[in-house]
Amino acid sequence: PQSLLQAYAKFSGAPLTVNTINKSWRAPKGEVPVLISEDIVISQPAKILNFLRKQKYNADYELSAKQGADTLAYIALLEEKLLPALLHTFWVEAENYCSVTKPWFASRIPFPLSLYLPGKMSREALNRILLTRGGPPLYSLTEVEAQIYRDAKECLNLLSKRLGTSQFFFGDTPTTLDAFVFGFLAPIYKVCFPRVQLQEHLKQLPNMCRFCDDILTCYFRLTVSGHSPAGQDTADANLQKLTQLVNKESNLIEKMDDNLRKSPQHPPRKLTTLKLAAGGEQSSPLNRLSP
Amino acid sequence: ATLCFQAFLQMCNLPIRVVCRANAEYMSPSGKLPFIHVGNQVVSELGPIVQFVKAKGHSLSDGLDEVQKAEMKAYMELVNNMLLTAELYLQWCDDVTVEEITHPRYGSPYPWPLNRILSYQKQWEVRRKMKAIGWAGKTLEQVLEDVDQCCQALSQRLGTQPYFFNKQPTELDALVFGHLFTILTTQLTTDELSEKVKNYSNLTAFCRRIEQQYFEGHDKESSATVAARSAKRSLLR
């Protein structure tokens, strides 16, 4: 969810600062990611997206009604077919969980939450998988796992066919759907797990890899190999510095651009360089995102 | 849900007979409805049934290219995700509906106290599932809003075409028809859910068209079964 929201924010030009998880014990319901804007606190990805849209950061401005409908459908596909396998890879697969997810997660939240929270998330993930996919005729966990990975691979294949050779799912500008797909794929693609069947499958789909790499290089200013958990910290720090710079400049420009902001909706901004993001004159609410 | 695959089989021009049974859930190999019994094979759930029918040489989506097939699968997931979950929510998590309609209907074939026990058990199961996917915290208004969004997406996708993929009906049409027709014709404590669907005239026209084309041929029998089915709908789910 965190990479999804960051990607969406980038696509739509919303200025946000990323704070690392050390405040999650203060997050209202212990849920992350959390968006804090002035006094409003919002905690679920879907609600955060709605909020950003209402604040006029809309990445789907140029989509037709039918494309908007397609977006909803594909997001449902992702949640239904890809999410269980993703949850499993991160939280349920024993080797992955013990060697990568748990230490990484626990290192970013304060003691004693670090003892409790990863275990809770792991149990919730397993619960969700079993309740939604685990009925008969699949009677054992291994059968359920086999089925969810089959579904996930099919889903990746479908996405690959839909993407084809275009740069983004709806032409040349990224939209909500691209943010969602990126949000789901980036962790699979970049995090180094001991058990990597999804990653291997993904690597066999060159257009999906190209899609992830494109977004990472254009919008996240990272080299292709640099998005490991350790790299996340430097990425966050850089993001923060750059966003602060952007916000200072935009405060000055804001006064001149008052009229522009009164127009109904803003078309998406293409952030070809981050300096250009200073053209983000719509930054009067200072959004802070805690992943 | 039964209606979805009945529509599908009608569209494939395959003759079927619908039978209502109290222990339907137990007869099904996966515990889920609907299921079909062909010769000595029993197949359940829409996905496997479609595969089975395809293996026998009948398929509705052969004329689609790869991208369209991907789109069709995505829309089917949307329908399952939103409409089916909303229907379940309304049946089992909305207290008013549960008390007045679902409990009596679900427990009707059984004597007391079995009817209450079984329906509470089912309710507990459904609520657990809702909690796992994050729907337990939703209010009725939010659920209705989600249904509205889903209908809007379907309506926009359908546009002015007769079917979702233009001239030929596909599995998606059968699925959408099944759910929308159920919503439009099932009696609940409030009409809000069916009102949401009725807001989209092309969707109601779509349902009527499919009903006329595929169900009125079997006139008396199907309208009688539709009425019987709407009374036992939660049972057959």
What ipTM does the predicted assembly reach?
Answer: 0.71
B98: domain range? 63-217
Of residues A21 and B81, the one with the higher pLDDT is B81
Q: Is the backbone of residue B31 left (phi > 0), alpha (psi -120 to 50) or beta?
A: left
Distance between B139 CA and the closest CA of chain A, angstroms? 15
User: Would you state the pLDDT for residue A25?
Assistant: 39
Distance between A65 CA and the closest CA of chain B, angstroms? 6
Range name among A92-96, B113-117, B214-218, B226-230 with the lowest pLDDT average: B226-230
User: Would you state the pLDDT for residue A273?
Assistant: 34
Residue B67 lies in a domain: yes
Averaged pLDDT, groups of 10, chain A, 291 residues long: 62 52 39 51 55 54 71 82 82 75 72 74 78 64 81 85 81 78 80 75 82 78 44 49 52 48 42 34 34 38
| Residue type (1 letter), B237 | R
- Contact yes or no for A73 and B128 at CB 8 A: no
Q: How many domains does chain B have?
A: 1
Beta strands (DSSP E) in chain A are 16-18, 34-37, 40-42, 287-290
The encoded tokens of residue B15 equal: 């003759």
Question: Residue B133: which CATH number?
Answer: 1.20.1050.10
Q: Are B203 and B163 in contact (CB under 8 A)?
A: no
Q: What is the pTM of this model?
A: 0.67
Distance between B219 CA and the closest CA of chain A, angstroms? 34
Q: In this prediction, what percent of chain B has a pLDDT beyond 90? A: 0
What DSSP state is assigned to residue A17? E
Query: Which residue in chain A has the smallest CA separation from B85?
Result: A132
Judge whether A180 is closer than 8 Å to chain B, CB to CB. no
Residue B201 pLDDT > 70 = yes
The C-alpha torsion from A186 through A187 and A192 to A197, rounded to 10°, is: -90
Residue B44 lies in a domain: no
Find which of A64, A72, A79 to mutate to test the B interface (most B CBs within 10 Å of its CB).
Answer: A72
Which residue among B73, B133, B157 sits closest to A77, beta carbon to beta carbon?
Answer: B73
The encoded tokens of residue B98 equal: 């549960």
Rg (CA), chain B: 18
Domains and CATH numbers, chain A: 62-220 (1.20.1050.10)
User: Would you state the pLDDT for residue A284?
Assistant: 31
Distance between B235 CA and the closest CA of chain A, angstroms? 18
Of residues A16 and B169, the one with the higher pLDDT is B169
Q: Residues of B at the A interface (Cβ-Cβ below 8 Å)?
A: 29-32, 66-67, 69-71, 73-75, 77-78, 80-82, 128-129, 132-134, 149-150, 152-154, 156-157, 159
Residue B100 lies in a domain: yes
Distance (Å, rounded) from C-alpha A11 to C-alpha A57?
9
Q: Kindly indicate the confidence band of residue B195, based on its pLDDT and cuts at 50, 70 and 90.
A: confident
Sheet of A287-290: strands edge to edge? A16-18, A287-290, A34-37, A40-42
